[in-house]
Amino acid sequence: MLRPLRLGLAAMLAAALTFSAAACGSDEHPADGPVTLSYMVWDTNQVPVMKELAAAFTKEHPTVTVDVQMTPWTDYWTKLRAAVSGGAAPDVFWMNGPNIQLYADNKVIVPLSDRISDAGIDLGVYPKALVDLYTFEGKVYGLPKDFDTVGVWYNKELFDAAKVAYPTDGWTWADFKAAAAKLTNPAKGVYAIGASVSSGQEYFYNTIYQAGGQVISADGKTSGYDQPATIEGLRFWTDLIKAGQSPDLKTMTDTQPLQLFESGKLAMYWGGSWNVSEFSKNEYTRTRVDVGPLPTGVRKATIIHGVANVVSSKTSHPEQAWEFVRFLGSRPAAEILGRSGPIPAYTGTQTGWASANARFKVQYFLDAVTYAVPYPVSRNTAAWNEAEAKHLSRAYSGEVDVETAATALAKDMNALLAKE
Amino acid sequence: MVVTESGVVRAESVVPPVPPGPTRRRRSWRHQRSEALWAYLLIAPTGLGLAVFYLWPVLQTAYFSFSEWGPFGGHEWIGLDNYRTLVGDAEALRALGNTTLYTVLGLAGIPVAIVFAALLNRRQLRAVSVYRMLFFLPMVTMPVAVAMVWRWLYNGEYGLINHVLSRVGIDGPHWIADPATALYALAAVGIWTTLGYNLVIFLAGMQAIPRELYEAASIDGAGPLVQFRRITLPLLSPSIFFVSVLSVIGSLQLFDLVYVIGGSGQSARNNPAYPRIQTVVALFYEKAFSSNDRGYAAAIVMALLLLIVALTAVQFRLQRRWVHYG
């Protein structure tokens, strides 16, 4: 079992490589000499377009090159925190809602407000929900890069075979449940959907707000998990597992819902606009799937979230790093991004994204902005995200009922919020 | 043998005294000193490596275990608080329980290795080195690669194991997601990866046993089983002791398999069996790198260090009773 020595050596080697790589990135250069910025991202699908953007930036600033460093989502925040603690943070990196306040509060990233006003940038070109998400104590810390909303990806073949109408605007929870019952086909190993507990953004956050509940109070001080409406939003998923219309947690541990959907075992997959590039590349899904809006509960809702670019406070090239972030937030960059990436945040460039992805009915993702709910966050979101996963997985696996799990979660979450 | 300064061999030495000859010149003090200097110089790189990569981190960790950390470094001294939390932490106790079970199961892998070694040690067996290589192969394969392959083999729906089982009418479980099987499934991989290493040590131990003992035993009418019990096992006991010490230390440090097969971070939380397979080191990793609670993580590994030292000391005590050096 185990080779502590080998693991240690591997870790040492990895550390040595990281440090040497980091050293290259932060070498002191004379002010006008060539500079290499490190830029850390988490989405493999977006690496090509990020490299394209980096090249476009270098064209305008010949002395600055950008090294796009890809770290998978599962390790991204772990590695970033370690890099920051060890003094080897990338110069520019992607930031998300759950982490922004933690990073801003600990002065890991620099406020950009002064630079934004000096450069005369109008923040009104980005959706307000995103600018607000990246504003902490009155200062803007990140320029929005893209945004995403959630929809129902569905397998047309399986819908046709079960003679179920495709999801359309205005379909309700009742319609969804009726469709789920018809789409489930145990003989063929086909489930209606994978009710995963792994991602609130794609699953339970949406149904919580559709049921009229909330994850966290508007002032960010109390948990919403003990509200009856919130519990209804969770029951939406546990009922699907109970009815056998979703695989159980064991099955989804062995094989992720995304893999099941991409092999025709799930009729529906609640996913984001970010899935567009994956599904248009995948041989199986490119012709068989399409997307519709989320069903309406008590009200219409989808979670909106977006990634922003931020500048490390430890960068030795603050000027160049800011120039790069500024470029990434500009209209030309948004147009490049929209052609082969996610929905650009820059208002007016989204139509380019929609026409570049005309294979699917992606307009639904753009229409969703009108009724979208901002991604729920607080100062230390990660702490209660962990509590969510811990308590909710017990409810999803049937170990405890959903009220018990939600009430216990609310208690834990309130304790964590009180500590912030 | 013991040599006094005058170069005279002491009488109590086990080795018979060597008569003084031209080769046993008295060496000068200066010569001895330069020889010692060379010796230290030659072991310096290793010593430096040990100090920098082992000793210093241990001291640092010991220090950190009395501190509380901010999310991005920076720490303050909080005395014994982390250890107080640790004693009352149900998650840590559960992880310790799991780790103990892994350790016991890991020891159960030793008899398996002995049996395989005994089978390979037969004289008439050809191409022993080929078998030895096959058994040793998992040991030199990257642990993560091994874990990835096993993850696939264990898949409840599409895994090879359940496919084979279905052919004989058995509906296999979700091996690594079912709380009833997950820990045993992981331990099996652990035993499998170390089997080759243990086997090579046992094989070497067996080949060092003089053939005459077996010949004498067969003249006295002892069958193969009696020979195994009365000759092989006692003379193999130093190897068994060595392997069991390493096995206990290794099992207590189990991490890679849990991390790759069982899942990490949020995906681990989705695995309903995760509370059953989480080890002490996996818990340490989560605290240190996911929740960034480094002070507490340091306290966890310090407790583990003490446990390893204690268990190893106990093993060394007990060896007097059953290990024959010989």
pLDDT, tens digit (0-9, with 9 covering 90-100), for B46-62 = 999 999 999 999 999 99
Interface residue of A253, A255, A262, A391 to substitute, partner B, most B CBs within 10 Å: A253
% of chain A beyond a pLDDT of 90: 79
Largest Cα–Cα separation, chain A: 69
Dihedral sign of CA atoms A220, A223, A225, A226 in order: negative
Q: Calculate mean pLDDT across residues B88-94.
A: 94
* Nearest C-alpha neighbor of A344 from the set A111, A130, A132: A130
The predicted structure's pLDDT at residue A217: 95
Q: Which pTM was predicted?
A: 0.81
Mean of pLDDT values over B73-102 = 93
Per the model's pLDDT, the better-predicted residue between B268 and A204 turns out to be A204
- B72, B171, B178: best to mutate for the A interface, most A CBs within 10 A: B72
With CB atoms and an 8 Å threshold, state whether B72 touches A108: yes
- pLDDT at site A75: 86
Q: What is chain B's mean pLDDT, rounded?
A: 87
Helical H runs in B159-181?
A: 160-167
Say which of B178, B194, B267 has its CB closest to residue A1. B194
From A326, A374, A347, select the one nearest A126 (Cα to Cα). A347
- pLDDT tens for B219-257 read 999 988 899 999 999 999 999 999 999 999 999 999 999
A7/B271 CB distance under 8 A = no
β-pairing, A372-374 with A302-304? parallel
Tell me which chain A residues have a C-beta less than 8 angstroms from the C-beta of B110: none
Alpha-carbon distance of A257 to B225, in angstroms, equals 54
Phi, psi for A185 (deg, rounded to 5): -140, 85
CB contact under 8 A, B157 and A3: no
The CB-based long-range contact list for A158-165 (8 Å cut-off, 24+ gap) reads A158/A183, A158/A190, A158/A264, A158/A267, A159/A183, A159/A267, A162/A267
Distance from CA of B235 to the nearest CA of A (A): 26
Closest Cβ opposite residue B72 in set A81, A196, A385: A81
Q: What pLDDT does B23 receive? A: 52
Residue B290 parent element (H or E): none
Residues in chain B: 326
Contacts of B301 in chain A (CB under 8 A): none
Query: Do residues B198 and B243 lie in contact, with contact meaning Cβ atoms separated by under 8 Å?
Result: yes
Min Cα separation B300/chain A (Å): 17
pLDDT in the model for residue A125: 93
Output A61-66 pairs: Cβ under 8 A, ≥24 positions apart: A61/A320, A61/A323, A63/A32, A63/A33, A63/A34, A63/A35, A64/A34, A64/A35, A64/A36, A64/A37, A64/A317, A64/A320, A64/A323, A64/A324, A65/A34, A65/A35, A65/A36, A65/A37, A66/A36, A66/A37, A66/A38, A66/A39, A66/A92, A66/A324
A282 pLDDT more than 60:
yes
Residue in B253, B266, B285, B294 to test binding to A, most A beta-carbons within 10 Å: B266
**Dihedral, A50, A51, A57, A60 alpha carbons, nearest 10:** -150
pLDDT in tens, A48-104: 999 999 999 999 999 999 999 999 988 899 899 889 988 899 999 999 999 999 999
Q: Is B192 on the interface with A (CB under 8 A)?
A: no
Contact A254 B250 (CB under 8 A): no
Contacts of A264 in chain B (CB under 8 A): none
For residue B290, is pLDDT > 60? yes
Report CB contact under 8 Å: B253, A382: no
pLDDT in tens, B114-132: 999 988 887 777 787 888 8
List, as ranges, residues 273-312 from B with C-beta within 8 Å of A. Answer: 273, 289-292
Comparing CB atoms, the residue among B176, B250, B291 nearest residue A1 is B250
Closest C-alpha to A4, from B107, B286, B252, B201: B252
Å between A394 CA and nearest CA of chain B: 7
- Read off the pLDDT of residues B92-105 as tens digits, 9 standing for 90 and up: 999 999 999 999 99
Predicted confidence at residue A191, as pLDDT, reads 97
Cβ-Cβ contacts under 8 Å, A93 against chain B: none
Contact A194, A374 (CB under 8 A): no
User: Is B42 exposed, middle or buried, given 0-12, 13-18 or 19+ CB atoms closer than 10 A?
Assistant: exposed
Residues in chain B closer than 8 A to A390 (CB atoms) = 269
Residues of chain B with pLDDT > 70, as a percent, come to 90
- Give me the pLDDT at residue A29, please: 44
Q: pLDDT tens-digit profile of A296-337?
A: 999 999 999 999 999 999 999 999 999 999 999 999 999 999
CB atoms B155 and A12 under 8 Å? no
pLDDT (0 to 100) of residue B84:
95
Length of chain A (residues): 420
Nearest chain A CA: its distance from B123 CA (Å): 30
Does the pLDDT at position B8 exceed 80?
A: no
Q: Which residues of B touch A197 (CB under 8 A)?
A: 269-270
Q: What is the mean pLDDT of residues A180-186?
A: 95
What pLDDT score does B47 carry? Answer: 94
- Provide, as residue numbers in chain A, all residues whose Cβ is less than 8 Å from the Cβ of B273: 250, 253
- Interchain contact B141–A (C-beta under 8 A): no
Residues of B within 8 A of A8 (CB-CB) are: 53
Contact at CB, B159 and A2, closer than 8 angstroms: no
Express each pLDDT in A203-212 by its tens digit.
Answer: 999 999 999 9
Residue B17 has pLDDT above 60, yes or no: no
The Cα–Cα gap between A47 and A67 comes to 11
pLDDT of A20 above 70: no
Q: What distance in Å separates the CA atoms of residue A344 and residue A19, rounded to the nearest whole number? A: 33
Distance from CA of A188 to the nearest CA of B (A): 13
B156 touches chain A (CB under 8 A): yes
- Residue B65 near chain A (CB below 8 Å): no
Residue A241, Cβ density class (10 Å: 0-12 exposed, 13-18 middle, ≥19 buried): buried
Q: B196 to each of A109, A162, B114, B140, B193, how far by Cα in Å? A: 50, 53, 11, 10, 7
Which residues 220-279 of B have a C-beta within 8 angstroms of A? 247, 249-251, 253-257, 263-267, 269-273
pLDDT at A406: 97
Best A1, A42, A78 member to test B by mutation, with max B CBs in 10 Å, is A1
Q: Tell me phi and psi for residue B238, to 5 degrees.
A: -60, -40
Give me the helices (H) in B210-293, please: 211-219, 224-227, 233-252, 256-257, 265-270, 274-277, 280-285
pLDDT band of residue B202 (cuts 50, 70, 90) is: very high
| B176 vs A contacts (CB less than 8 Å) | 253-254
Burial A147-157 (b: 16+ CB within 10 A, else e): bbbbbbbbbee
Burial group, residue A379, by CB count within 10 angstroms (0-12, 13-18, 19+): middle
Those residues whose C-beta lies under 8 Å from the C-beta of residue B38, and which sit 6 or more positions away, are: none
pLDDT given at position A27: 43
Is the complex ipTM more than 0.90?
no
Nearest to B179 by CA among B110, B90, B111, B278: B278
- Find the closest chain A residue to B290 by CA distance: A78
Tokens of A235: 């029951």
Q: How many Cβ atoms are within 10 Å of B44's Cβ, its own excluded?
A: 10
Mean pLDDT for chain A overall = 90
Question: Who wins on pLDDT, A252 or B13?
Answer: A252
Q: B190: closest CA among B273, B119, B258?
A: B258
